[in-house]
Amino acid sequence: MTRSPETSHVMSASDMDRALTRIAHEIVESHRGVEGLLLLGIPRRGTILARRLGERLARIDPAFDPEQAIGSLDITLYRDDLRAHGARTPEPTKIPGAGIDGATVVLVDDVLYSGRTVRAALDALQALGRPAVVRLAVLVDRGHRELPIRSDHVGKNLPTSRDERVSVLLDEVDRVPRSEEAVVIQRGRASQAGER
């Protein structure tokens, strides 16, 4: 990943770590435990963040079983803006054995922007069953919502302008060393397809 001079860092690797730990505590607090909790990450970065959140939840409460309580929810086929963003191969949707019926589903994504991804995720959930509660956890909320959607758990609220581009750089996707993971803003560019 080459970084142009207009790139500025808004979160470091340790900022991200702390934010995830805080979100994990918030989730346990608001749900009053881990029973019936299901984390669904939105590919690709949301899936990775969901796994990291799950590790923290297991540390907070050993009753949390990442095998049974973490999955992924691809929303490619539910988007209403594919025409603008172009087709992509859907990532797998993996729902752990018990399914979503009656669960407290926490959707996990990297950046919350227009809200269209989340809307698509809600549609996708509907096709899979009927959760008791759906919550939303994001690492960054950059504003500019186009739909009446809000996040329940936020790592960082980040005021941005529309011509900026926010990227979450992760080891598993972006091939940066874990210690150099970061959230960065690039200026003067239209938002990219991966940003939602």
Residue 127 near other proteins by CB under 8 A: yes
Residue of the chain from 123, 171, 172, 174 that contacts other proteins (CB under 8 A):
123
165 in helix, strand or coil? strand
Residue 12 near other proteins by CB under 8 A: no
Enter the tokens of residue 95. 């729902």
Q: CA nearest 158: which of 47, 1, 15, 56?
A: 15
> What does 3-16 look like in DSSP terms, one character per residue?
--TT-EEEE-HHHH
In the complex, the smallest distance separating the C-beta of residue 128 from other proteins, rounded to whole angstroms, is 6
Residue of the chain from 7, 21, 93, 186 that contacts other proteins (CB under 8 A):
93
Are the C-beta atoms of 73 and 41 separated by less than 8 Å? yes
Residue 194 near other proteins by CB under 8 A: no
In the complex, the smallest distance separating the C-beta of residue 125 from other proteins, rounded to whole angstroms, is 11
**Which sign does the torsion angle of CA 82, 87, 91, 94 carry?**
positive
Alpha-carbon gap, residue 110 to 92, rounded angstroms: 18
Residue with tokens 């991804």: 117
Residue 74 near other proteins by CB under 8 A: yes
Residue 42 near other proteins by CB under 8 A: no
Residue of the chain from 5, 62, 86, 159 that contacts other proteins (CB under 8 A):
86
Q: Which stretch binds other proteins (CB under 8 A): 5-13, 53-61, 106-114, 122-130?
A: 122-130
Residue of the chain from 92, 132, 179, 188 that contacts other proteins (CB under 8 A):
92
Q: CA nearest 143: which of 123, 172, 118, 114?
A: 114
Alpha-carbon gap, residue 127 to 113, rounded angstroms: 24
In the complex, the smallest distance separating the C-beta of residue 4 from other proteins, rounded to whole angstroms, is 25
Binding map of other proteins across residues 129-148, x = CB under 8 A, - = no contact: x-------------------
Alpha-carbon gap, residue 103 to 92, rounded angstroms: 20
93 in helix, strand or coil? coil
Residue type (1 letter), 165: R
In the complex, the smallest distance separating the C-beta of residue 60 from other proteins, rounded to whole angstroms, is 31
In the complex, the smallest distance separating the C-beta of residue 22 from other proteins, rounded to whole angstroms, is 34
Interacting residues toward other proteins by CB under 8 A = 74, 76-80, 82-84, 86-87, 89-93, 123, 126-129
